[in-house]
Structure formats: structure tokens, C-alpha cells
Chains A and B, each alone.
Chain A
């Protein structure tokens, strides 16, 4: 399993380069990363020089108006010779074919890739890998991963994306209440529902608004049995400010074994107390209204 980290800040690169297998970067046009094309080029070059894999995230939807910009971006990416491109919009797959990038693509449907058959089908299109959804139980994860061995990626740490809208919820809200506030691309904002106390990170950028889980997903205890079948495990660092924690997590995941998994997990919880959760690994969510 490749250990990949979403690189939200360039300052992290030197610290994690010796530990992880690769980094994921991107630009605002198609992702929640805020790098310029020049910065992307520099990071990709750094990765080549330091035996680190570089992946590009394109995890937003593409409108018809943006197809030309997408062309230019794909052309730029082709020259970088990156290890892979995470894509969310099926149109990217179609568009990438003439650029010879199909085999580099990794489908990340976020919430919609929940079964073995769909995973196998999307892989049969000639792409490199697919990221399974975060709303799966461990038993479901096992089934999909074992049946598509070596071709499945999975988020293994970090806040989970719960919603994605083209609507600019923060801009519209501040307009509605007539308040000026510096909120764009800010990662310190949280929503708390009237009757529940979950504090849900919310972020708005040019592409819309995304809301994440209040908890940080972790699967230290479960990862060992899946590592051999996963192509890549992704650490998403969004909303995690503490760089030392990110480095520690990467170290822990890189040296994770069945023997030390409990120690590593307990150590993390003790030294960096936070709201950790195994998400849906042990929690089905198909409860109906009547149950």
C-alpha cells in the first residue's frame, strides 16, 4: 500500500518526504487545494528529485463552461508526468483519453462508490484505481478491497467530506444577515446544528461549499488486514493545523504492524487528544425512519 498525504501546505513537504510514498496536490479550479500552476510544477519537480510520487486531485464537478480550462489543465498535467490524477467528474475520464492520461486516473466518487460491482466496472474502463466511499462498514470494505486487490484506494485518516454544494452557503448567509466577514478558503469555520452539538468544519471556495465530519476518521486497528490489498491509503490533512501531528500520523502509519497497532493508536489518542472515530466501519447507516 502506498501511503499518500494531501499536501495542504508546502511547508510540510520536507518533513514528510522521507516518510510517505507520495503527496496529493491540486488547484482551486478542480479541488480544495490552493496552489498555482507554478507551485504545482515546483512540487512535482521536488517529488521527482526526492523519489516521492506526486498525485493531482481533481475532486470537483466540472461545468460545461469549464471544459476548455480542463483541457489546458490536463495538457499541463501531462507534462508534469505525475503518478496519478484523482478525479470526481466522469467527464474528466472522457476528456483525459486523448491526452493519454486514462491509465493515470483514479476515480474518487466520494460518496457513490459503495460496492464491489461498481468498483470493478469503473476499473474496467482502464483507469489506475478507485477510491471507495467513506460510508462503508468494515465488512463492506473488506469485500470490495479483496475482490479488487491492488486497485483500490481508501481514505485512512482525516475528516470525511459529508457534503459538497455549488451553492456558496457562507457568502449567501453573510449577505443575508448583512455582515462582512473574512471567510473564503478559511479552515477554522464550523457549523453546529440547533439541536445537536457536532461541530462540522465548513469551507467555501470558488467552486462552492463543502462540509466535513466533526470527527477525525482513523482506522489504525483495521488497516493492517487491508494493507496488502489496498493500492493506496490516503491521509487527508484538511482542518488539521498541527503539522507535528500530521508528521506523527504519517510515521505511525508507515510503521504500523499488527503487533504495534494498539500501542500506536493509544499513543495518538493520549498525546494528541481529539475527536477520533472509526466513522462507519462499525456503524451501518441504512436505518429507516421507522427504526
Chain B
């Protein structure tokens, strides 16, 4: 049996490399064209070529999103683009247009076609229909419960992909154009303004019936499906997908590493104890900037699965530095500052090969080797004395004190 795939998002080259280094079996990225999430930095052709080559060194795969809802003029240049993707060794494209599957099969047959969640496939017959259209893999809609996912997996032989973590559209994906009306930005062509996360007054006729202190919001909590990973492995899901092409390198690193370890432990031990699941949930919570739950996996989404009184994502300040290198002679880490930390702060280091090792900041220097007591300039390069070795790509997060 093939081991389940861990699929991570990346909004740029650096984050794609982090996802792969931290244990993703595959990454999905958007090109500058034809891709949702237009606000993500996205990859130009040279970046795509580089990440494809980089991934191969790690035996990882790269999927490219071509999942806008195409209007006629959007097809311009698509054949050349698909041929280019095939030529540089991209493994698959993620699509929402059935016609595009036909074009890809004809013009670039080396590319697999994965049907995006934009088509909200929620039953085995929809999966079969898409298979008939030529799809090699189907991403199920996030409205399916775990029982339904198991039933679909039992009935179809098509590889299935399921979202396990990250932000959730509150509406069926692809069927929401609120953004078009509110901001003239096409939600299905990369312009989603997240109008569902705004606040609304509710009227019946001319009478306002909403509570002025708590207006209506469609905003959903994020998804965290850690408790279902074992069942997904057992029912034969091909790929577990993390959402978040807009997310930070810290989020990508932490979430990918946690699910990587969790999946490996399930395969190694056969199952996960409640204590170990609690440990992994605690790890995932370190990267979350919005409350999370299991979405539709456990059934309907009641009011406890919505966010009222919260407009959007909060910002996590726990992530304080990215490790650029390590001097083994001086025991000094070269870091790039991301958020404020200071002399005396307790720091937790995590990375592809290091698990939450802690130290107290005691000695820091700037690039001119002047001693500094506080790191408060984002992107500043500093040297930090370490009690243990670290590696490029590791990350520092500040351990919160009770009074923080």
C-alpha cells in the first residue's frame, strides 16, 4: 500500500522549499497566471523550474494550480503554459475546468490532472463523472463528513485528496461570488476579498433583527482534522492537503512538520494514542492564528464552528527568527529577525531535524559584531550564541510567559 501523501501549499519559492524540507511529499503552487489566490506572491516560470528541480532532490512532487474558473479570454497562452509545465517536470495541474483536462491530456499528457475543490465533489457519482472526464485525482469538497468520505473512498477507485488543515470557505467553493458584487473582484479568478468574513446587519423587511453588539458573520473557524488522519489513512485516501497559499513560512514549517511526524507515527505504531494526538494538536495550535475545529468531518457545522466578533485572522508573534546558517566553530546561528525578542527570552527551536529544543538568549550581535540586547528590526541579520547546533531552515519561536 502506498503511504498517504502529505500535500502542502506554498506562495513562493522560499516557502515551497521549506514545505519540502519540513516533510511534505508534495507542494502545490500557483503560477503568475491561471491561478486562484492572486494575492499570493506566486511563481514565475523560472521559479517553477527551480522548485521542480529542487523537489526532485527530495523525491517530492510539485503540483501547479490552474484552477481559476476560465472565461474565454483566460485560455490565451494555456497550451504553451501546460507544455512548459510538462517539460520542466511538474507532476500535476490542479484544475476546475473540465475542458482544460481535455486540453492538458492532448497537449501535455505527462501532466496528471487533479480536479480542484472548486467543483465541490461530494458524492461517489460526481467523482465517477469527473473520472470519465479524464481526471486523475479528485479533491473532495470540504462539506463531506468523515463517514461520507469513507463511503466515497469505498465506492471509487479514483485517488482522492482531502483537506485536513487551514482556512475554510464558508460557502461551497466556486459557488460564491460575493466578492464580485462587493468589490468587483472575481472570487473565482483569484480576487476573493473574503466578504464572508465581514460583518452584516440582518433585516426582516425594514426591521433590523440582528444584535448590534454581535452582527452576523459567515466566517468559519479554520479546519484542523488531526483526529481524522488515522481514519483517512485506513480508508485509502491518497493525499492529505493543507490549505494556505497565503500563509507564512512559520505556519508552513510548523504545520507540515507536525503532520509529517503524526503520519509517520501512525504508520510506525499502527495508531495514535489520545496523549500523542493531544501533543500534535498542541503543536498545530502554535501555528494557528484563528480558532480551529473539525469542520464538517464530524457532521453539520453549528454556531460553535463559526467566528462571531472576529473580523479576520489574528497575527501570531511567536515566530521570531529564521535560521540562515550555523557557525560550528563559534556556536553562532545566523538568523533573520521576524518578530521582536530580547536578551533573556526563552526560545524554542524547531526544524526539519530538530524538535522543540529550548535555550535562553544570552549573546547576540549585529552584522558589525556589535552586541545587541533586543532584536526588534524585522529582516535584520543577527548572530546568536547557541547551546546546541542548528541548521539553515530551522526557526525560532518565543516561548510565551504566563504574563504575555
Contact = CB atoms under 8 A, between A and B. Distances in A.
Contacts of B306: 167, 172-173, 176
Contacts of A92: 125
Contacts of B180: 135, 162, 280, 285
Contacts, number: 242
A91 B216 contact: no
Interface string A107-121: 000111011111011
Main secondary structure of the interface of B (DSSP, over half): mixed
A64 B152 contact: yes
B38 interface: yes
Contacts of A114: 69-71, 188
B148 A65 contact: yes
Contacts of B4: none
B170 interface: yes
B189 interface: yes
Q: Which of A94, A144, A163: most chain B CB closer than 10 A?
A: A163
Given A64-B124, A121-B102, A111 B178 contact: no
A189 B196 CA distance: 17
A93 B132 CA distance: 11
Contacts of A283: 184
Contacts of A191: 200-203, 216
A286 interface: yes
B172 A165 contact: yes
A269 interface: no
B39 interface: yes
B35 interface: no
Interface in A172-206: 172-173, 175-177, 179, 181, 183, 186, 188-196, 198-200, 202
A261 to B, nearest CB: 26
A61 B122 contact: yes
A194 B215 contact: yes
A239 interface: no
Nearest to B199: A194
Given A112-B119, A165-B172, A173-B210, A288 B72 contact: no
Interface in B143-182: 143-145, 148, 151-152, 170-172, 174-178, 180-182
B182 A93 contact: no
Contact of A61 (B71, B141, B177): B141
B69 A186 contact: no
Contacts of B196: 163
A117 B211 CA distance: 47
A171 to B, nearest CB: 8
A19 to B, nearest CB: 30
Interface string B75-101: 100000000000000000000111110
Interface string A84-105: 0000011111110000000000
Given A61-B141, A67-B123, A288-B185, A193 B195 contact: yes
A193 B122 contact: no
A175 B304 CA distance: 9
A114 B74 CA distance: 10
B216 A163 contact: no
B190 A115 contact: no
Given A163-B178, A176-B303, A285-B186, 16 more contacts: A62-B122, A90-B125, A111-B174, A112-B118, A115-B97, A120-B99, A167-B220, A171-B303, A173-B202, A173-B216, A175-B303, A177-B214, A179-B209, A193-B201, A285-B185, A286-B71
Interface of B: 38-39, 69-75, 96-100, 102-103, 118-130, 132-133, 141, 143-145, 148, 151-152, 170-172, 174-178, 180-186, 188-191, 195-196, 198-205, 209-211, 214-216, 218, 220, 296, 300-303, 305-306, 308
8 contacts: A89-B126, A94-B128, A111-B177, A117-B100, A172-B305, A183-B204, A194-B200, A287-B186
7 interchain residue pairs of minimum CB distance = A91-B125, A117-B99, A91-B126, A172-B303, A94-B125, A64-B148, A163-B176
